[in-house]
Chain A
Amino acid sequence: MDDLNSTNRKLPFGIKLPAKVVWTKRTKSDLRTGLLFLSPWLIGFFAFTLYPMVVCFFFSFNNYKTKRAPARIGLQNYRDLLVDEKFWIALNNTMYMVIIAVPLGLFASFLCAILLNLKVRGQAFYRVVYFLPSIVPTVAGTILFLWLLNPQVGLVNTLLDRIGIDGPNWMADPNWSKPALILLGMWGMGGTIIIYLSGLQDVPQSLLEAAELDGANWFQRLWHITIPMVSPITLFNLITGMIGMFQYFAQAYVVGGGDNLGRPLDSTLFYSVYLYQNAFLFLKMGYASAMAWILFIIILIFTLLLLKVSDRFTYYAG
């Protein structure tokens, strides 16, 4: 794309657009070829993402169930959601996971990555061990965890009992069901650890050595060099983790066993679970569509907010 003018206009978040495009025959031909190569993704995007999103937006203003024609009801679905107690419970549960599980997961992943970055004997073995849980299928991992957290015969409570702690009822107790799911999530954080690990290996040794020569101790090197240098990775993990957590579904579905979604006492009724219930069990597609759009807007706001705030704590070398 030589013909594209190299003078760039600045857009937010570092996106650059060419100031002026000169439409020569070559440019047009390149564009056609480019679009053709992109077409598998473009077709997929338009047919399976954009079109459903637009239709979903339309349905959110309709009383639409499944087959019968949608009936226009304006903002009624949104108004009903505002007074729907379960909607707020689901949103509250989801926010709990986003606010607690995501930062906790990031912190634990970073800590593990630092440990796995240490040049010790058996380093490769430890890396494999920490990564393995993340390739266990979600359903199998969740069922395994349900057994580990079984209050009577589970390993966790047995170990707690050995040190004199009376373990909680975990998934049967509404106060402990979400912490139990957070533990389950942290068990499978191998993917995040790998990303952090690659980031840690990109931290220039020269900086660390210079700091060491200047008398900086381990913590000072970590705080002033390593953490700022991996901050773009932290931002990436934070945003993807947050988006994933807003859409938290599979583990809660397995724990609920299909018929008992949200149990005990709606403590595992997450946003996507309630959305699924409305769409596929209660056949309230219009209502579920409104929920989907609210979730989209919430995620969008949080992502933009994080990107905006990230300027203050993210350091892009070079």
Chain B
Amino acid sequence: MNKKLFRILSIVLLASMLLSACGNAGGGSVSDEQKVLRVWIQWGDNPQQIQTLFDKYTAETGIKVEVTAPIEQDKILPALTGSTPPDVLILSGGDLAKSFYKEGLVDELSGAIKTGNIDMADMFEAPLSQCRQGDLILCLPWGTDAYALFWNKDLFEAAGLDPEKPPSTMEELVEYADKLTVIAADGTIEQIGFIPNHSWSHTDLYVRNFGGFWYSDDGSALTVNSQPMIDAMTWQQQFFTKYGVDNIQSFSSGFGEYGSPDAPFYAGKVAMMVEGEWQVGPNFIPALKPELNYGVAAFPPPADHPERAGTIVNQGTAVVIPSGAKDKDASAKLLAWMMSPAIVAEEFCFNANLPTSRKAAEDPCFKELGPKFQVFVDLMSSPNAYAVLTTPISLELNDAMGTAEERILLTGTDPKTELDAIQAEFEPKFKEAMK
């Protein structure tokens, strides 16, 4: 090949590679021709349904919205630090919002709330509290989850218990669990009354019932080794001590998959469980085990604190605006549209999750989800409604607490010793993060 031509071709090739690499890979959030807003959703079982919802925004405003869901966390981080982050990002919880704000990756939302004229009084305080950091609002809760006690009425009847009367205190729950647990002649478990960490940890709910949390209520102090935390862990530990760790683990390992007709509560292997509102929605029990005879009620408080009845702990989606979003006004307006009661009701009725808007909660569609779902909706207005408080160190702290909880429940270590160690390790990190 001609040497000169070869050189020219090489330079052209390199230049085009560089230009394409430096170009706007995302296709641009905003163009003069037609605005395109990009919405990323960390959680998202049904991307098509969410896209259809956002198409309504396009129909109303002419602004196209591209939805990407679900999106992995390790893809979110490079996008937020890069030049083309999404215009609106919907996270699975408030914990990441705090970490991202600390790093300057997402905006504080007071300005967006003002621009979008978002009615903050319409929002339930509990889910909103997971987005607060002092006076700052770092995210807005879109939908939320809450947990309550589910009990199998047939198994109650078989154990000689009143099937219409769930335990009214945590102590009574322990008694009921004993009556509902069936041990075979060889010592193995055939049916269990209650597993405190069934499906995943519910320490947040138990510790609230014991009157505390692992942060102080205003989120300004770390209280991992506080008495309510020790009580919550000790209360859970008794089930493993009593029935045997190996026994419970061996029994649990044969459970059918979550969200299948063989799931242990559906199959009558577990008589009581702590679960979320989606279970009573059309995609879970009514679809997978319609004949299941069960009840739902708020998780009971300790006997000496009846005033804590109706305790729930909200945790759910948190919407943030990336600090690198190109058109903040457009993001704010889309956020306001998402937070409008009609849209909240439509999205969360469809998915059978709880709305964060009071007006949305009155939408008849939630009543159509049945009286069991209404138990959860009513609990949203409970004076004992809380949220999982979050801070910039939440993810690291939760991981450490998860390991400690495993040690306490599975190896029988002393709750206070474990929690003291976490408090000592994370106290400096917490102070540093909250500066």
Contacts and interface: CB of A to CB of B under 8 A. Distances in A.
Q: Do A and B bind each other?
A: yes
Given A150-B253, A173-B249, A265 B103 contact: no
A283 B407 contact: no
B105 A172 contact: no
Contacts of B246: 169
A288 to B, nearest CB: 12
B368 interface: no
Interface in B373-412: 395-396, 399, 402-403, 406-407, 410-411
Contact of A68 (B77, B104, B252, B410): B104
B435 to A, nearest CB: 13
B92 to A, nearest CB: 10
Interface string B56-75: 00000000000000000110
Interface residues of A, number: 27
A152 B80 contact: no
B254 A153 contact: yes
Interface in A126-183: 150-153, 169-170, 172-173
A261 B403 CA distance: 10
B403 A152 contact: no
Contacts of A68: 103-104
What is the size category of the interface that chain B forms with chain A? Answer: 20 to 34
A150 B254 contact: yes
B396 A67 contact: no
Contacts of A66: 77, 80-81, 103, 105
Contact of B252 (A153, A172, A280): A172
Interface in A266-318: 266, 276-277, 280-283
A265 B254 contact: no
- Most interface-central of B80, B253, B403, B411 (chain A CB within 10 A): B253
A281 B80 contact: no
Contacts of B105: 66-67
Nearest to A151: B253
Contacts of A214: none
B51 interface: no
A265 B404 CA distance: 8
Contacts of A281: 73, 395-396, 399
A173 B99 CA distance: 33
B260 to A, nearest CB: 13
A2 interface: no
A172 B253 CA distance: 7
B406 A280 contact: no
Contacts of B253: 150-152, 169-170, 172
Contacts of A173: 249
A220 interface: no
B250 A282 contact: no
B249 A169 contact: yes
B254 A282 contact: no
A259 B395 CA distance: 10
Contact of A264 (B81, B250, B254, B406): B406
Contact of B254 (A151, A262, A276): A151
B10 interface: yes
A181 to B, nearest CB: 16
A150 B250 CA distance: 9
B399 to A, nearest CB: 7
12 contacts: A68-B103, A150-B253, A151-B249, A152-B254, A263-B402, A277-B399, A280-B77, A281-B395, A281-B399, A282-B395, A282-B399, A283-B77
Interface of B: 10, 73-74, 77, 80-81, 99, 102-105, 200, 246, 249-255, 323, 395-396, 399, 402-403, 406-407, 410-411
Interface of A: 36, 65-68, 150-153, 169-170, 172-173, 259-266, 276-277, 280-283
Given A169-B253, A259-B200, 6 more contacts: A151-B254, A261-B399, A277-B399, A280-B73, A281-B395, A282-B396
Across chains A and B, which 3 residue pairs bring their CB atoms closest together, nearest first? A152-B254, A151-B253, A282-B396
